[in-house]
Amino acid sequence: MDPVITVTLTKAVAATNLVGFGLTGADFALDRGTAAELTISGGATNCTLLARQIYIFTGVGAQMSGTLTIAVVPTSGESPPTFVVNNITFASASITWPTDEGPVTQALTTGTPMPLAGISASED
């Protein structure tokens, strides 16, 4: 089974009308066949899932909280994926991914790439 990543946001606020979540410089892509969930208050107008990015179109100042869960699939090579969150501020945010030694959870910072070192297939 493809690795599943989980992003948890608490008291997130959109800094612009376009909030992005996704992978950069990776030999992985988001699995478009996987459900992605995020609770949004303040009115999202659109959500777009591309090969490596999820874009949420919303109003500046829209509040978001909840969990975003999505599988990632290898596309080539062996480089681990790097995850980035853009155009959003939050009280706290974390990302969890599976490794051979068990799940790893790290804090996220807006605009700072988080390498998903040791990512491995989920055991579901």
Tens of pLDDT, residue by residue over 97-113, are 999 999 999 999 888 88
CB 64 within 8 A of CB 9: yes
For the ranges 19-23, 78-82, 101-105, which has the lowest average pLDDT? 78-82
User: Whole-angstrom Cα distance, residue 23 to residue 53?
Assistant: 6
Q: Name every residue whose Cβ is closer than 8 Å to that of residue 102 and which is 6 or more positions away in sequence.
A: none
**1 compared with 68, residue with greater pLDDT:** 68
First to last CA, the chain: 7
Amino acid, res. 28: F
Mean pLDDT across the chain: 83
Q: What are the structural domain ranges in the chain?
A: 4-115
Residue 42 has pLDDT above 70, yes or no: no
Rounded mean pLDDT, 35-64: 77
Write the DSSP string, 64-95: EEEEEEEEEEE-SSSPPPEEEEESEE-SEEEE
For the entire predicted model, the pTM comes to 0.83
User: Whole-angstrom Cα distance, residue 37 to residue 22?
Assistant: 14
**76 compared with 83, residue with greater pLDDT:** 83
Helix (H) or strand (E) holding 122: none
